[in-house]
Structure 1
Amino acid sequence: MTPQEILTQYGPRESMDYDVVVVGGGPAGLSTAIRLKQLAAEKGQEISVVVLEKGSEPGAHILSGAVLDPQSLTELLPNWKADGAPLNQPVTDEAMMFLSETTGYRTPNMFLPACSQNHGNYIISLGALTRWLAQQAENLGVEIFPGFAAAEVLYTETGAVKGVATGNMGVEKSGEPGPNFQIGMELLGKYTVFAEGSRGHLGKQVIAKFNLDEGCDPQSYGIGIKELWEAEPSRHQPGLVLHTAGWPMDNATYGGSFLYHMEDNKIAMGFITGLNYTNPYLSPFEEFQRWKTHPNIRWYLENEKGEVTGKRIAYGARAITAGGLMSLPKTVFPGGALVGCDAGFLNVSRIKGSHAAIKSGMLCAEAAYAAVTAGRAQDELSAYPEAFEASWLYTELNKSRNFKAWFKHGLRVGTLMNGLEQFGLKGNMPWTIRRDKPDHAYLKPAAECKPIDYPKPDGKLTFDRLSSVFISSAAHEENQPAHLTLRDASVPVNINLAKFAGPEARYCPAGVYEFVKNDNGTDRLQINAANCVHCKTCDIKDPTQNIVWVTPEGGGGPNYSAM
C-alpha cells in the first residue's frame, strides 16, 4: 500500500496543536525551544512548544568533532557552567599541519588566522551537550518526543506550512501494515521550525517547494567520518586541537582532518572529504583509515615501542553543510523557518557549526515568539532573517564567505587565497567568489580516472566498514520498507555502475550499497538499509540523484552515546 492508501484506510490521523513545532532535537532545535520558553517566562505568558526527535533519545544521532565556541551558549544560558553543562576540556594548544606522505609541517601559531584560533573554546561531546540542552528545555516545559520521525510536511489550503506528520510504525517490507501497525500523528503549529541537521529530509522539500535557494550558489557538502579512541596517557595532551591538510588528498581534492584531545585520555579524530570530489574510485572511509597511518598521526595511538595500544571505542559519520553564506537559502517561508545546518549556517573556515546552530535557533525563536504573541500564524517570519543580518553570526560568516569556493582551484590556490583573506585582510576582502555546480555534478566517468588501491585494514589501527558500523550501535527495525529509495531501479547498474564504476559502494561509510551478481551473472544493487548511520552522503553524492533518503521508523539509526 502507498502512504496515501494507508491514510485513506486507517485515517484520519490524530492531531495535537502547539504554538511552535520544532523538527529535530539537536542544538538548533533545542535552542529554538529553550529561547521560546524563556521569552514567555520573562513576560509571564504561556507558549506551547514541542520538539520531535527521530533518534532514540536527544543526542543519539548527533555527531561532530567537536570544538565549541561558547559565545551563543552563554547568550542562551548564561549560567551553563554552574548548571553542569558538559564543557569540561578547554583548549590548551592548537596546531595546523600540512602533510606529505611521510612528513608534516606545522604552521607557526603566530601565523594562524583568527578563524583557526581556538583559545577560549572547549573540546566536547556534542551528543552530551545535546542531552544536557534537552534537560534544560524540559525543565522549562518543552515537550520532547524522542523516537518520532517527522515524515511529512503538512500544508494549509493556501500552501503555508501548518505542521508535520510523524511516520507510520509497523509497516512491513511489502508496504502493508503489520500486526503492530500504528498510524502516524499530526503535530500542528502556528509555526514549524525545521532543525534536522545537514541535508534534512523535510528541509530539502520545503527549500524546493518555496524556491528558497533561488539566486544562491549550489549548496556544498562534506562527509565527516569520526572515531573516538582511548589513548596511552603518555601520548595524550589534554586540550590539544590538531588539524591537518594535504595527504592523503591530492591537490585537486578538498579534504582535511581533526584530532582533538578530550578529557580522560580520549581522542576524537576524524577526516572530512569534500563531496565535490571528481574520482569515482575515491572512498572517504578508506582515505580516513589511510590518514591514520601517517607517522605524525599514528604516534598518538601508539606506545613508546611503536605498538598500537590505543583502543577505538566509537565510530560514526555525518554530512556537513559547508557552502557558507553564498549558499545559504532564504530561511523563512509561510508558516515556518529553517535553522542550523538544515539551512547551512556552519562556518567551514572555523570547522564549527554548533555555535551557529544555537544562535540561529535563538534568532528564529525571538521572531516566532513575537509573531505568536501578536496573534499571527503561518505567515513569513521576516524578523528572523533581518535579525540574522544584523547579528555577529552574519559578520562572522561574511568574513569567510569565499573559504570553500577557493578550493575549486585546488589545495595550493585555496590555501594561499584563504591565507591572504583570513590572515592578511582579516576577512575584509572586497571580492566574492561564486560556485555554479552541485557536488554530484563533479564526478567524472570512471574511464577518465585512475583506480585507487587502498591497503587492507589491520584491525588495530585501520578497520573495515562493518566492524565500524557495529560500534556505531546502528539498528533499524529489519522488517520495514527500505528508507533508501530509488527513483528508477535500473539506474544503479545501467548508469552508475556502467559509467561511474558504482561509486555508491565507496562513498557510503557504512556498507549500505553493494553490487552483487545474480545467478545469471548480471549485476544488481543490494541495499543493506539496516547498516545506515543516517549520514545522508548518498542523497548528496549520487551522480544521477536517483537515491532519495527518507525517514525510517523513529528510534532507528545510530546511537552515538559518547560522540
Structure 2
Amino acid sequence: MVERETMEFDVVIVGAGPAGLSTAIRLAQQAQQQDQECMICVVEKGSEVGAHILSGAVFETTALDELLPNWQELGAPVTTKVTNDEIYWFNNKNKATAIPHFATPKTFHNDGNYIVSMGNVCRWLAEQAENLGVEIFPGFSAHSLIIEDDTVKGIVTGDMGLDTDGNEKDGFMPGMELRAKYTVFAEGCRGHLGKQLINQFALDKDVSVQHYGLGFKEIWQIDPAKHKQGTVVHGTGWPLTGDTNGGSFMYHSENNQVVVGLIVDLNYSNPHLSPFDEFQQMKHHPIFKDVLEGGERIAYGARAITKGGLHSLPKMHFPGGLLVGCDAGTLNFAKIKGNHTAMKSGMVAAEVIFTALANEQQHTDLVEYSDAFAQSWAYKELHQSRNFGPVMHKLGKFLGGAYNTLDQNLFSGALPFTFKDNTPDYATLVDKNQAPRLSYPKADGQLSFDKLSSVFLSNTNHEESQPCHLKLKNAAIPIEVNLVKFDEPAQRYCPAGVYEIQQIAGKDEFVINSQNCVHCKTCDIKDPSQNITWLTPEGAGGPNYPNM
C-alpha cells in the first residue's frame, strides 16, 4: 500500500479551464467580501495553465462581465472585437454560397464578441485567482476519486515515476490525497472522473444520451495583405457529405494570424471517414486557400466538444461535489460557444458552495445547485437552443437548418416541439461493407499535412516509459471485432495517429502509440465497442498549446 501525503482544503477544483477558474475566483471573491478564510486548490494536468486548452474561439463576455467587471483595466487578453461576420454553404470543393444573416439562426451572429486565445484567457484568469489567494497546482493530474460512505471526499493525484508495467522507477513520487469539504469537477469534455461520477451516481438516469463533436484547430501566420482583423467566417457543407454534420470556421485574430478549423459531429455512420483528412481537405476550398496560401502553419490541435445540450445535461450535483462546464455539457451548440456558459456554471457553483460552507456544511449533496443553475441566464440559453442539435440529427442539414432558423429567429426557441436523439455516437457506425470507401488526396505540405507533422506542432510530450493511459477492456476486440466489422475506425477517428493496425509476424496487431495522444478523448467516445477507456497519464504530459 502506497503511503500518500494528505492535504486538506475547503474546496478542490479539478481543471484550470474557464469553468474551474471562474469557480475559484467567485469563491475567493465571496470569501474576501465576507472576510472569511476559504482554502481553495485548483489542480491542472497540463504543464501550465492553458497548455491543454483548445477552443475556437469567438468569446462572448457575458460571464466575464459579471465575474470581473473591470477586466479591461486588468489587462485581459480580450482585445480583438468581431467586425465582420460571414456565413457560407460550401456547395462543393470549388464553390460556396454566402448566406444572408436573416437566413441563419441569430445565435450564429457575433456582434459584440471577441476573437481570443482561450489558453491565454485562462492563463490570465489564473493570475486573477492567485491574486485572490487561490492555490493552483499545474502538472498534477487528478487520477482517482476519494469516495467514502458514498460521498466524494476529494481526489488523488497521479503517481509520478512508474514504468510501463506500473513498477516504481528511480525518483518515484506517489500521488497526494487532496481532501476537501466540496470537490468541483471542471475537467472539460468527457472528463474521466466526471464520466465515473455520472456512472456511479447515475447522474444521467433521466436524460438523453450525450453527443459530441471533434474539433480541429490550426493557427496560421498569413500575408498581411490578406489579413482582415476581426473577420469571422463560418460554414457548413463540403467536405462533409451524407449524414456527416459539422461546420468550419476561420477567424482573423491579431498579429496577421488566422485560426482555421473544422468540427465534425461524432454521430457519423461511415467507418471509413477520417475527420482529420476531412479537415485537411477543407483548407483547399478557395474560401480558405485564398487566405492561407503562402502562409505558415504554426500550431495544430484537436479536442472533443460536448454538444448534446439541455436534453443531455446530467444531474450536476452529488454527495460532496458538483460537475460544471463541459464536464457536464453546458456548451451552447446553437452559438458554437461554451466558454461563457461554462464560466457561469462555475460561478453559480461557487455561490452555492460558499453558502454551504458559511452554514458549516460539508460533504452534503448540494441539491440547491439545480435550482440555482436553472435560474441563470446560462440555463435559459440552453433551454432556448435545446432542440438545435437533435433536430439536425433527425431532419438533416437542410430541414434541420431551416427549422432552427425559424425557431431561433422568430420564436426564440419557444416552438412547442421536442426533438431528442437517444442513439449514442459510438452506435452509429455501419458495417464497413455497407459504407462507401473514402479516399483522400495526399497532403501537399503547403495547405494540407499528415498527422505526425501536425502532432509535432502540438508540442505533445509524455514521459518515457510510463504506463499506457489508454486502456483496453479486452485486448482482442480491436482485431476480432472492430477490424472485422468496421475496418478498425480508431485508425481514422484519432486525430493524432495514436492507433494503428500493423502486420507483425504475419498477423494483424493493434498498436497504441500513446505518446502521440493530444488528450482529445475521441477514442473514449467513438469506439464502437466501447472498449477504450482514456485515463490521465503522468501530470504535465500531453500537448503544450502556446496560444490555443
The offset of 1:28, in angstroms, is: 0.4
Quote the residue 1:97 is aligned against. Answer: 88
Distance 2:358 2:416 in 1: 42
Distance 2:510 2:204 in 1: 32
Conservation of the 8 A alpha-carbon contact between 1:474 and 1:531: yes
Quote the residue 1:449 is aligned against. Answer: 435
Distance 2:356 2:507 in 1: 59
1:427 to 404, 413, 416: 413
User: Aligned pair 1:23/2:14, yes or no?
Assistant: yes
The offset of 1:109, in angstroms, is: 2.5
Distance 1:385 1:133 in 2: 26
Q: What amino acid is aligned across from residue 465 of structure 1 in structure 2?
A: K
1:76 to 67, 72, 75: 67
> Could you say what secondary structure the match of 1:317 adopts?
strand
> Which moved further from structure 2: 184-193 or 413-422?
413-422
- Residue deviations 1:354-375, cap 9 Å, x none? 0011100000000000001111
Conservation of the 8 A alpha-carbon contact between 1:64 and 1:126: yes
Distance 1:313 1:359 in 2: 32
Aligned residues: 546
User: Aligned pair 1:545/2:536, yes or no?
Assistant: no
User: Aligned pair 1:153/2:145, yes or no?
Assistant: yes
Distance 2:367 2:85 in 1: 40
User: Aligned pair 1:283/2:274, yes or no?
Assistant: yes
The offset of 1:110, in angstroms, is: 3.8
Q: What amino acid is aligned across from residue 206 of structure 2 in structure 1?
A: G
Distance 2:104 2:90 in 1: 17
2:466 to 480, 489, 506: 480
- Residue deviations 1:364-399, cap 9 Å, x none? 000000001111011111222211111111111111
Structure 1 segment 225-374 matched on structure 2, within 5 A: 225-301=216-292, 308-374=293-359
TM-score normalised to structure 1 length: 0.96
Conservation of the 8 A alpha-carbon contact between 2:249 and 2:262: yes
The offset of 1:135, in angstroms, is: 0.3
User: Aligned pair 1:191/2:191, yes or no?
Assistant: no
Conservation of the 8 A alpha-carbon contact between 2:473 and 2:531: yes
Quote the residue 1:410 is aligned against. Answer: 396
- Residue deviations 1:4-46, cap 9 Å, x none? xxxx1x32x1100000000001110010000000001111111
- Residue deviations 1:229-288, cap 9 Å, x none? 011112111111110000011141111111111011110110000000000000100000
> Could you say what secondary structure the match of 2:21 adopts?
helix
The offset of 1:181, in angstroms, is: 0.9
Q: What amino acid is aligned across from residue 230 of structure 1 in structure 2?
A: Q
1:556 to 522, 529, 541: 541
Distance 1:309 1:436 in 2: 45
Distance 2:379 2:29 in 1: 24
Q: What amino acid is aligned across from residue 155 of structure 2 in structure 1?
A: V
Quote the residue 1:210 is aligned against. Answer: 201
The offset of 1:429, in angstroms, is: 1.3
The offset of 1:424, in angstroms, is: 2.8
Quote the residue 1:3 is aligned against. Answer: none
2:127 to 129, 132, 135: 135
User: Aligned pair 1:49/2:45, yes or no?
Assistant: no
> Which moved further from structure 2: 419-428 or 496-505?
419-428
Distance 2:495 2:543 in 1: 13
> Which moved further from structure 2: 102-111 or 346-355?
102-111
Q: What amino acid is aligned across from residue 400 of structure 2 in structure 1?
A: G
> Could you say what secondary structure the match of 1:410 adopts?
helix
Distance 1:417 1:283 in 2: 29
Distance 1:172 1:280 in 2: 34
The offset of 1:406, in angstroms, is: 1.1
What is the aligned-residue identity percentage? 53
Conservation of the 8 A alpha-carbon contact between 1:331 and 1:339: yes
Conservation of the 8 A alpha-carbon contact between 1:113 and 1:426: no
Distance 2:403 2:433 in 1: 32
1:493 to 476, 479, 482: 479
1:113 to 105, 116, 125: 105
User: Aligned pair 1:468/2:472, yes or no?
Assistant: no
The offset of 1:120, in angstroms, is: 0.5
What are the ranges of 5 or more consecutive residues in structure 2 without an aligned counterpart? none
Quote the residue 2:519 is aligned against. Answer: 534
Conservation of the 8 A alpha-carbon contact between 1:251 and 1:411: no
Quote the residue 1:304 is aligned against. Answer: none
Report the aligned-residue RMSD.
0.8
The offset of 1:536, in angstroms, is: 0.2
What are the ranges of 5 or more consecutive residues in structure 1 without an aligned counterpart? 1-7, 302-307
Distance 2:159 2:249 in 1: 39
The offset of 1:137, in angstroms, is: 0.4
Conservation of the 8 A alpha-carbon contact between 1:366 and 1:384: no
Distance 1:453 1:523 in 2: 22
Conservation of the 8 A alpha-carbon contact between 2:105 and 2:404: no
> Could you say what secondary structure the match of 2:36 adopts?
coil
Distance 1:81 1:382 in 2: 35
Conservation of the 8 A alpha-carbon contact between 1:200 and 1:342: yes
Q: What amino acid is aligned across from residue 359 of structure 2 in structure 1?
A: A
Conservation of the 8 A alpha-carbon contact between 1:251 and 1:412: no
Conservation of the 8 A alpha-carbon contact between 2:105 and 2:406: no
The offset of 1:114, in angstroms, is: 2.3
Quote the residue 1:514 is aligned against. Answer: 500
Q: What amino acid is aligned across from residue 127 of structure 1 in structure 2?
A: G
Distance 2:134 2:287 in 1: 46
Structure 1 segment 158-173 matched on structure 2, within 5 A: 158-173=149-164
> Which moved further from structure 2: 81-90 or 249-258?
249-258
Distance 1:407 1:32 in 2: 33
Quote the residue 2:210 is aligned against. Answer: 219
Conservation of the 8 A alpha-carbon contact between 2:103 and 2:405: no
Distance 1:515 1:251 in 2: 27
User: Aligned pair 1:62/2:53, yes or no?
Assistant: yes
